[in-house]
Amino acid sequence: MMVIRPIRAEDYPALYDMAVESGHGFTSLPVNDELLQRKINRSEDSFAKEVSKPGDEGYLFVLEDTETGFICGTSAIEAAVGLDDAFYHYHLGKVVHTSRALGVYNTVDILTLCNDYTGATELCTLFLREQRRLKHNGKLLSRFRFLFMAEFRERFSDRVIAEMRGVSDEVGNSPFWQWLEEHFFSVDFPTADYLTGIGQKVFIAELMPKYPIYVSLLSKEAQAVIGQVHAKTKPALALLQSEGFSTTGYVDIFDAGPTVEAKLEHIRTARNSRRLQVRVADVSGGQPYLICNCDRQNFRASWTHLHVSETSEEVNLPPDLAAALQVQDGDWVRLARL
């Protein structure tokens, strides 16, 4: 059975392997022992911490095959970004150059450096290992986070965002960054991406152009990838769009990948989720559902087929699923249709 749970210290080797497998452009999983260990420690502290509003908490989860103990993937939620370190984006806007005397009216696209998403909740670090990209594993690894946020609403912002990986090749070359590198940075994309991933962002403020960039001045290759996603990221983008996420003109400062956003109360899985009381029974069949327990520190989530009435206040769970979710008769679960 596939089960989502909070990461633990003993999961470090698996997390390191996934950082290596994720490749260039995956900023939130840098291949760095100290940082990855710090992520685990911070996550454990965040789950244990009592909070009344979102702060500098980071919740890191893993997807485990309970039959083998194999860690199949990971995903995370940042409660509120930009509170300690500046959180940069480019916003794609427009300026108008007009002259009545000459009869000229030109609309020009510009990129403006900003920190507009400060305080927003971020979905991040979603990675499913290649050999486990089947059935509903990808949907589970992404969508269970909406159940977690709906259950522990006070821990998250109303505004939820996700940065989509932009276009780069197999060795880490980004057409957008190549233009910035040539004119401003003199640092290659993998290096800049790695420095950001380990929290060394001061070079951005020091070297990033301070004034809006006219898109028409960029290379044709750089212009072509603004707001475009990496080929391997297209399924993740489609999934978030189906949940109600949309683009609003914000792109990554390194590879120009789009950032999508939604209000938490408008996210489909969170909005349609229900809290029901457990009855353990020998049942099978039904419709596919995401389901989680309501225990923060011992959080568990999975997917299964269930028979759930629209008017019922209870749900029958088979014994193996109840055991995997660490619930028994009378406990509460939150669920939503897949």
> Is 230 annotated as catalytic?
yes
**Residue 65, beta-bridge partner list:** 2
Give the C-alpha separation, 209 to 212, whole Å.
8
Q: CB of 89 within 8 A of CB of 66?
A: no
Give the C-alpha separation, 20 to 14, whole Å.
10
- Which residue type does 318 have? P
Q: Apex CA 146: angle with CA 144 and CA 147, to 5°?
A: 65
Name the active-site residue from 89, 136, 230, 305: 230
Instruction: Report which of 36, 84, 33 is spatially closest to residue 56, judged by C-alpha positions.
Output: 84
Q: Within its chain, how far is the Cα of 245 from the centroid?
A: 12
Give the C-alpha separation, 83 to 56, whole Å.
7
Work out the number of other CB atoms within 10 angstroms of the CB of residue 74.
Answer: 26
Beta strand 89-99 pairing with 104-114: antiparallel
Helices (H) and strands (E) in the chain, counts: 10, 15
Q: Within its chain, how far is the Cα of 7 from the centroid?
A: 16
Residues annotated as part of the active site: 230
